[in-house]
Structure 1
């Protein structure tokens, strides 16, 4: 695949939207926290009214405990569901759970007052729903000026794209912001030429999404252009994008179904990213917290390894080597030096084999137990890698004399996610070299399984299983 490495600067509108997002998120969080505090107050007031009716219903300590339980459960639900507008349906079961706890607490008392419980439930749920309605209105009005719009772009310069642009402009409630279009035929003017900035060719998407926020594109091509659509998807498939097709006419089977519609016609989704936005935030948060937790105990080990390396052979402690990361972009990976300096292979074209004379005495142990990979925690901290993901390979690495992408055409799909310090393939016994086609195919097969079935629990499982796989490496690990 030929990738254009020219940098494409994001338009000012997108940069403004990115700055506005931080203000919006801060204010949004303040409103949600304030609303949650009011909900807790409603539960507390409801319980106080119930106690006036039936003083024996519960003690004040029990009431405070139930209110705290509601706050914790509601906060967790808010984080999981992510939007205030989707929380009304949870009010009943959240409050019901709190009341069930209350019923358990009242079993130690002589009498259960149903009237008091009904008052508590009714007053609290009325106030909670009212509070959520007010918070929702405040978010819609007070934050309207800084509410970030979702940036989108078109692929192609056609009349259907211009029609969708006009539809977005006419819809005052639209949360889309069209930043421009990409088109391989730059010398041919079209309906969008005078309406939107041209951001370059389709290949420029690689650099654009690296420098600006863009996670959804709309392909403005006719249904009949099946070959062209397939060719574009082939070029885009390693990018973390949602790709939708703007229909040029109305197929009967698609009329009036779904939410993402254009002129009453559903826009088929051709490609989705491997992680949702929430999943990506979660994964990055785990990376940062994990690195912070690992750095403190690793510092003494780093100093000890550095001392052994300096005593064993001449040269630097750390070794830098280029690797291919997300979107196919190259970065400098950090490793403890395990080869003699004069025989180091910076391009990694010749993989290390068993008994390789280039490996130092200390390096044999570092490589066997994967200790040489530990400095990559800094690559994770810099955002170039993740704790868990497909292992990064050198751009010119070969299997049976052929570059990896030549052996497996789908190899580039690994670049849809950040490379990791450990991965699904490694904990399933596929550590070490990939110098044969069979080894490479098995490694990539497990990488695809990870990308296709990612979940937070899968990452946790991989991290836990990595420890015994490092302590008891396979015999072929060199």
Structure 2
């Protein structure tokens, strides 16, 4: 049992209520083990691609068996088959067949799936009749493709159902959610969310509220109060949390802003429930969680397909960079070994995604007996702790090359992102998070080898609060404006930025 869970239980549960404390203890201890998540959006997209490919392949297979031996390969089939497969995917999307709930119930959704497939063929037959294309396409081929497509779809949906059920049982498709704000305003929202949990894959963990009086009871609609907003921030650092829903009225502006000021640094979606608000906006202003209308406040900065694209980019380009720089890294390692005693590599604990502690690799640039793993003292110009080789590799950032191992093999760094700072790094004798308000918001994405701050001249020594402030501003700009093209642009400009060495010691 983690200490965090025990502390929260003591804070949130009455000392004389053993059964309630035990219930909360079980709830939080279950959530204290981070579970990797799979995006339902990506899952749905992969199933779409799979079904398009299967339907297309089935159409060409029937064509190869029936049409090609006697008539060859007509170009019209190469247009009709992908076109009808794409139309089928669109029809199934319109029938809401690409949701985790639909994937889990292949028998219940089978009629809708077959209905969409049938509708596509009826549309194709109508087009053939009105365009007088009777001799262009084989009717036997159409019938064979229709029947074969149904059989392939049925088998595929049962296989997908088995995979989705397994992921659901493991909690990897859950959207782990907490509600902020207890009392009467939260109860109808919680009941509505609970009613839609099956369809929306929500998993409601509990309630957080700063109030400690009768307005915020220990249990709301069957869900326990787990702590305050400060507890929520720490809770999100220890376990996977996907969504926070505020049940406070919009009129409580000051209280909302105070809470959002603490929570916006987390890599989560934040929504404001409009379930009981008297103020009404245009329908398109709302998104929906189940049947509950919500207003979007903050979105997780890199999510769904963006995570997959960025991860693939990091692995592929990172591996190529490792191969490209292997001779350089070998030469640097030899120079370090010849210059001073001690290991070639230096490991340092830094803050990673969501403030998790990660170990990053660097080439050793200091004498072995003067290493500073905690970065308690900034390296300054002419620092006697730095070796001769160390001065060169620090100025050119060659000491950072081993972090490619973090990118390619450990996955806790990205090629591009906010630079991971040492945990006790300081600016003007103050910790970075004491200097910059909202400093930890830069940890909403994975840190990187290079970033927007580095190509804009903010690398090297941070001896003044203004320097770290500028770095954080650049990091937040990158997070809010991320795209894969921006990553490519930053990587392309990084070698030019490394030529400016006046602040790198």
Q: Where on the TM-score scale, by shorter chain, does this alignment land: which range?
A: 0.7 to 0.9
Measured in 2, the distance between the counterparts of 1:226 and 1:292 equals 49
Give the equivalent residue in structure 1 for 2:315. Answer: 288
Measured in 2, the distance between the counterparts of 1:142 and 1:405 equals 46
Measured in 2, the distance between the counterparts of 1:20 and 1:149 equals 8
CA contact (8 A) 1:161 1:192 kept: no
Q: How does 1:449-460 map to 2 (within 5 A)?
A: 449-460=477-488
**Cα displacement (A) at 1:227:** 1.8
* Aligned counterpart for 1:338 among listed residues 365, 372, 376: 365
Measured in 2, the distance between the counterparts of 1:343 and 1:143 equals 53
**Cα displacement (A) at 1:267:** 1.9
Give the equivalent residue in structure 1 for 2:15. Answer: none
* Aligned counterpart for 1:356 among listed residues 383, 406, 412: 383
**Cα displacement (A) at 1:222:** 3.1
The answer to whether structure 1 residue 157 and structure 2 residue 157 are counterparts is no
Q: 1:31 to 1:119 in 2, by over 3 A?
A: same
Q: 1:176 to 1:194 in 2, by over 3 A?
A: closer
**Cα displacement (A) at 1:349:** 3.7
Measured in 2, the distance between the counterparts of 1:228 and 1:167 equals 24
CA contact (8 A) 2:247 2:273 kept: yes
TM-score, normalised by the number of residues in structure 1: 0.73
The answer to whether structure 1 residue 37 and structure 2 residue 54 are counterparts is yes
SS at 2:393's partner residue? helix
The Cα offsets for residues 228-281 of structure 1, whole Å up to 9 and x where unpaired, read as 211111111111111112247433433755563589873222221111222123
Q: 1:305 to 1:219 in 2, by over 3 A?
A: same
Q: 1:29 to 1:211 in 2, by over 3 A?
A: farther
SS at 1:234's partner residue? helix
The answer to whether structure 1 residue 260 and structure 2 residue 287 are counterparts is yes
CA contact (8 A) 1:320 1:334 kept: yes
Q: 1:280 to 1:252 in 2, by over 3 A?
A: same
Measured in 2, the distance between the counterparts of 1:137 and 1:468 equals 51
CA contact (8 A) 1:40 1:70 kept: no
| Matched pairs, number | 438
* Aligned counterpart for 1:180 among listed residues 206, 211, 215: 206
Give the equivalent residue in structure 2 for 1:102. Answer: none
The Cα offsets for residues 386-441 of structure 1, whole Å up to 9 and x where unpaired, read as 21101122333333444333433243321222211111121233332222344333
**Cα displacement (A) at 1:447:** 1.6
Output the aligned Cα RMSD: 4.7
Q: 1:60 to 1:15 in 2, by over 3 A?
A: farther
SS at 1:322's partner residue? strand
CA contact (8 A) 1:31 1:139 kept: no
* Aligned counterpart for 1:387 among listed residues 415, 425, 441: 415
CA contact (8 A) 1:242 1:272 kept: yes
Give the equivalent residue in structure 2 for 1:403. Answer: 431
Q: How does 1:4-403 map to 2 (within 5 A)?
A: 6=4, 33=50, 36-42=53-59, 45=62, 60=73, 85=98, 145-146=165-166, 147=168, 148-171=173-196, 173-185=199-211, 190=217, 192-193=219-220, 195-247=222-274, 249-254=276-281, 256-257=283-284, 260-261=287-288, 266-380=293-407, 381-403=409-431
Measured in 1, the distance between the counterparts of 2:352 and 2:193 equals 35
CA contact (8 A) 1:336 1:372 kept: yes
SS at 1:434's partner residue? coil
SS at 2:56's partner residue? helix
Give the equivalent residue in structure 2 for 1:99. Answer: none
Q: 1:281 to 1:7 in 2, by over 3 A?
A: farther
Measured in 2, the distance between the counterparts of 1:319 and 1:198 equals 44
SS at 1:6's partner residue? helix
Measured in 2, the distance between the counterparts of 1:38 and 1:138 equals 16
Give the equivalent residue in structure 1 for 2:22. Answer: none
Give the equivalent residue in structure 2 for 1:423. Answer: 451
366-375 or 429-438: bigger deviation: 429-438
**Cα displacement (A) at 1:309:** 1.3
